[in-house]
Every structure is written in structure tokens, then in C-alpha cells.
Structure 1
């Protein structure tokens, strides 16, 4: 039995750090285990251009622990007002690595997102021209579409057309949750997917059976077990189209535990440990390094990290909460001991 595992230091290719005092909590957790992270732009004031991305990046750097070499990789938020010039400036920046498509109303702080995907095509053409990757929250928001079917519906309605129209645009299907997403990625060139720890470890029973568990609620929502199995197979396959993206999304405990709780799981406190557990259950610890440390940088055309990180087989319990500005933050799967720990 493996009791210690050393891997190249991983990166997080989908991360929410929030802003303001929250950065004093969130940045340190990610910097502890990841060398780089693609930082999501859906703040209350969205990061819609290079100027805002630069200012946000500096706020993140200011919150870094002393001597940390963590690198935030910035993104811009696409809206129906995004201009060709916005894309040019982003693509020329040394610190912007992608643009994010949120359908309007799909998730936290997405009210400024894209209401008409087809109107975005000139922007996508410019992104393809400048080789700026497109990151997609692949869910429709039509009220007549069942929440468990929204990912498949987005692929059928929009993503297939985007892929055919822009054949050389690099696309990441973020936080994939379904067999259909896995199939789409496998069938298309220049296409990849990030996979989260919660979708690898849990299915919708963990959200709804025996009572509603608000800290397991995220968007895209947890799906049935057949889909979880498809994600596990993809993650542990060694296929470089699938790589680590936590989608760690912190919300104050009071915002999660109320009549209309926020969507998002805070996994960054122990992300690599959670992934290690998922891979160990499948007898695939030998595939963790590629998934966590190699395939993401390869897709983004960045060098692989030189540093290493060591995990030891050790049971430990997360605290009930962490400080989060003036409030508290409840970690994902806090009630169950974790089985791996960063040494």
C-alpha cells in the first residue's frame, strides 16, 4: 500500500478567490499546494478587461504569504459588450491567459454574463485569431430545462456550434459533470475539460438523500452515479484532455445555510488531498501527477513546474470552519476525515 507520494507541484486550472478581505483566507490555501491557478473573473464587479485584471492580480499578490511563489493566471469575463479591442489587449497581456463565458444567470455573479451566445461570435473569432483560450460554464439557463439536463442542453444548443465554427479555438469545458461532456471532449480537437473533487467524489445522493446538504451544493449541480463514474474514468485514464480544476468557490457559512443557499464548494483547503483520495479509490494514484501537474500546463502551453509536493497517507479532520473576513467559511466534506495530507 502506498503511504507516501511525491508529485510535481500541481496547478489549479479553475479557482475562485473572491476579493477584499476574503483574499486573506483564500489565497494562502491555494498557494500552499498549487504553483499556479487560473483565477475566475466573476466578482461583484466583473473583471471585463485587462485593466481590471491587472488591478485584481495585484490584490491577489498583495495577499500572498511571505516568500510564496504562487502565480495567479488571470482571465477576463465575456459579456455582450466585450469588444474586439478588449480581446486584443487581453491577448497581448503577460498575465491574462483566457476569457470566460458565463451564460447570464448561470451561477454566482453571472448576471453580467452572455445573454446571446451567437452575438459573441465576432469576439470568439478574435480569440481564435490571437489564440486566447475560451473557458465555458456549459449550462443553459432556460427555465423549462431541468437543472440536471442543463449541461447537455448547452452542448447541444451552443457548444457544438462554437466548436464547428471555430475549429482551432482552444476550449475548456469547465467543471464537466456528465457523460455527454466527457464524450464531447473526447470527440473534438483543441478541447479539454477540468474536473472538480466534489464531482469525482460525490453524486446527487450526497446532496439530497436523507436531507439537504448545503455545503455540497454547487453549479453545475452534482449528477447521478453513472455520470460520476464517467468523470472518474476520464480523470484516471491518463488522457491529457482532462486535468485538475477545483472550482473551489468559497461562501460565508451564513450564505450557504439559509433559505436560498449559495452554490459553491470550498475545497481549496485540502484540494490535492481530496483528489488523491478519489484516485486512490480507483487504484490510480500513478495517474494523479499527470492529471494534476502535467496536462493543464501542456494545454495552456506553459512550462511544467519544477518544484515537487509530497503527500502522506494520514487521516486528519478539517476544523468546523475557517475565518472568512468577519465571517466564517465551512470547508467541503468537513464531517468526514481526509485520508491524505501534505507533508
Structure 2
């Protein structure tokens, strides 16, 4: 990550990421996060109120709870629980692709239950994916129904058993095969992290897209894994050892898919600078208790929800493409999924972005617990921008530049 004069912080990130902040405040509509984990029970109660604080109006909720969400009725019940926590967010729901998913259920209930799509997890590759997919052919009937209904297939694009630096690229033929077999099916390749995946998505028509996370725009494998472990692993054909417990040096930067090389990160950055409409925001914000992240092996996931827009503004400003942020963080997804793009309207909430540095908290503490909570991305480091959610009025345009 680029430097701002801050060296390593509490989460082991190499620096804070961004150059000097702009002198004038910015204003923009709230954003849409097309990939987030809100968990369940006490964790859901803890993180769901942070959605709006992070500048979001709309989230696509992942289904890998325990047990996973596999029916429209379960999705509706999950959504009701989230609405009770914060009714001012639009929750788009997904099902977990498994034998329990029914085409008849989708046809009869998906729309009324706010089910937007189905998430595919290869078996065992990430958190709560033990019931994941081993073969896609058995789900062709489900894909036919999804294509008919306009539902979206969300793919975690890694091949189990393949070394972490290669697992995403190895998945691309499966991704292309599904599109070839179901050319009208809306497909999202989630949290792309490689130049190869970027190129594969760019070759696709408009009904195929991909999400990009803030942390994959900032991290490389060097920010996660011990340098000597990388060197040893790269000396073997299979790159073995990159995700073993002793190899992860900075667990709060550890996620699936693993951050890749500088070349891969540069490809992600270039595509957002280009404003390619295939690509849109999906934070993959994935909260885990601090002890789970700092255990051996560490839980996979980076927590970005409460500061999501602040991370994004900092990245886009550093890359000199702040004018592309609004479309990446809302407009492209709105066009892909078919909802209305956010606008600045009087008395509706908006995000005011101040060029005021802020220190990322070292931890978001659980209520009543002094030392336990969730450690955010870039903990204890400095961001050059602060985001405030407030009601829009035309007078804001006199003091702020609109994105």
C-alpha cells in the first residue's frame, strides 16, 4: 500500500494507503455494497448498525450462516431480523447453493422474499462452506430457473485444493463454462483478485459482472504472509504453504481469496480507473471476533463495513479517479441488478466527505467487553478522509463538490 507517513499499525498493514486529502468537502449519495457478511445472533446485532455509518444504503447479504440460508422462507426470516436491527437499509438476500435449494421455491417465492440470487461456495474454501459445491452439473436445473427468473448466480471463484495464488485463475474455466451453458444467466464473479479474472470478466457480455473489495485494491500477498514463506512457497511448483497457520503474519489482512501480487493489484486498480461497467463494489466485509482472527489458523475475512466509504474515497483519490467512485460504488450495480441508482435529493440521506484525517479504531469492542470485539481493516492507521451521513439539502452544494 502507498505511504502517508504512517508506518505499520496494529493490524500489521504496511501503511495507511493514501496521499494528501483534498481541501474541499465532497458530497455524494449513499453507496451500495453488493457483497457483505452480517452474520447472525449477537454478531448481527453488533455489525448491522454499522452499515449506514459506513456510507451504505443497500447491501447484498451473504447466506453462509450456521445453518446456511437455503430456502426463500429462511431468507425472508433472516431479512426480517436484519430489518428489526436497522430498518433504514435495503437488504437484498441470497441463498446458499446446495441440494436443499429448489427451483419451485425460487419460482414461487423468490420475489416476495427479496431473494436476488444464489451464492456458490466451493466446498471448504472459506468460512462456513463445508456444505459447498463439488460439481456444478447437478445444479443445471437451478441455473435454468434462475436464468428464467432473472436471478443472479454469485460465484466464489476458487478451486479447492489448488494453491492460494493459483486457485482463482484455476476457476476461470468453470466460470466460462457456466456462462457458455447459460448465456442469459446473470453471473457475478465475487471479490476478484487477479489480473486473469479481470481479463476473463472483461471478455463477457453485460449480464456478467464482478465485485471488487477495498482491501484487494490495497493489499498484496506481502501484506499478509511472511516474506520468507512466500519465497519458500514460490520455489515449489504448487506454491504450497501460503495459507498454513505459520505462514500468515498479519491475520487481520487474511481473507479468501488471498491478496495476490502487485501486478494483480495493479490490474484491479486499472479497471476502476477505467470505469469499466462490469465491475462494482462488493466489500466482502467479514467480521470475526478478535480471538478468532488471532488464533492458529486465523479465520478468513477482513472487516471494512463501518468505514467502507472512507476506505474507498481514500483509494480513489490516491488513484486520481474520484469522479469514478459514484458509479463503481452504486451506479454499475444499479444497472446490473435493476434497482434505481442513488441520487442527491432533499431530505434523503447522503454522504459528506470531509478532508479531515481520522484514526481507524484499534478495535470495535463488543458491548460490556473490554478486550474483545472486531478489529477493522487498517486498525490504528490513519485515513485522510472522514465520512458523515446526513440529510441532503441544496445548500450543501455551496460548500461541497459533488461526486
Give the TM-score normalised by the residue count of structure 2.
0.81
- Residue 47 of structure 2: aligned partner: 26
Q: Give 3-state SS (helix, strand or coil) of 2:35's partner.
A: strand
- Residue 360 of structure 2: aligned partner: 318
Which runs of no fewer than 5 residues in structure 1 stay unpaired? none
Correspondence for 2:57 among 11, 14, 35: 35
Q: CA–CA distance in 1 between the matches of 2:96 and 2:52?
A: 23
- Residue 309 of structure 1: aligned partner: 351
Per-residue CA shift, 1:142-170, capped at 9, x if unaligned? x2x211111111112x1111010000101
1:1-343 to 2 correspondence within 5 Å? Answer: 1-32=22-53, 33-64=55-86, 69-141=88-160, 143=161, 145-156=162-173, 158-189=174-205, 190-209=207-226, 212-306=249-343, 307=348, 308-324=350-366, 327-343=372-388
Give the TM-score normalised by the residue count of structure 1.
0.94
Which runs of no fewer than 5 residues in structure 2 stay unpaired? 1-21, 228-247, 389-403
Q: Give 3-state SS (helix, strand or coil) of 1:98's partner.
A: strand
Q: CA–CA distance in 2 between the matches of 1:84 and 1:293?
A: 30
Q: Give 3-state SS (helix, strand or coil) of 2:316's partner.
A: helix
Q: CA–CA distance in 2 between the matches of 1:334 and 1:99?
A: 32
Rg (Cα) greater in structure: 2
Greater share of helix? 1
Which moved further from structure 2: 37-46 or 76-85? 76-85
Alpha-carbon distance change, 2 to 126 in structure 1, aligned in 2, over 3 angstroms: farther
Report the aligned-residue RMSD: 1.5
Structure with the larger RCO, 1 or 2 (CA within 8 Å, 6+ apart): 2
Residues matched between the structures, number: 337
- Tell me how far 1:205 sits from its aligned partner: 0.9
- Tell me how far 1:209 sits from its aligned partner: 4.3
Q: Give 3-state SS (helix, strand or coil) of 2:170's partner.
A: helix
Which moved further from structure 2: 254-263 or 230-239? 230-239
Q: CA–CA distance in 1 between the matches of 2:29 and 2:329?
A: 8
